[in-house]
Amino acid sequence: MSFDVDSSIPYIYYRLCFTLPEGVNNLSLSEWQLLGRGISLTDITADGGSITEGLEALVDHQGETSTKAPLTAVYKSVGNYAISSYAITSTTGKAPTAWTLEGSTNGTSWKVIDQQTDVQFPYSASTFVRNLSVTS
């Protein structure tokens, strides 16, 4: 499934909502990076913003976070940024297999940017990188 992202509509808030299969209650997640145009051209999550919902360790660049699910993480950036891709790194244990990435300018109204289902992380501590179609 692919979603076009209008690069003229940057977001301040990004929300990652994980969907777990029935009977699964644990999720191992290490790192979440938003990539695009920001202070760092490669990592918007390095702009000094913060996690407003979920674990701050998701953007600590340490790669050792393990969290319980269901999980929703919200990142509030310092400025408005257009996202071109994102990355999720798993840890040992149950890697996520499905999620929705959303963007918001106010933290209340959300727009779906990307949805993934049936994702397979090939090994522990591997990183899933999703390049998004950006419209001009």
72 pLDDT above the threshold of 90: no
Cα 119 versus chain centre, distance: 14
Model-level pTM? Answer: 0.78
Q: Which helix (H) or strand (E) holds 127?
A: strand 127-131
Give residue-wise pLDDT tens across range 79-130. Answer: 888 888 899 888 766 788 899 999 999 999 999 999 999 988 888 788 899 9
Q: What mean pLDDT comes out for the span 52-64?
A: 77
Cα 54 versus chain centre, distance: 11
Who's near 66: CB < 8 A, 6+ residues apart?
28, 29, 30, 91, 92, 93
Q: Give the whole-angstrom CA distance, residue 83 versus residue 80.
A: 10
The three-state secondary structure class of 38 is coil
Q: In the chain, what percentage of residues exceed pLDDT 90?
A: 20
- What confidence category does residue 7 fall into, taking pLDDT thresholds of 50, 70 and 90? very low
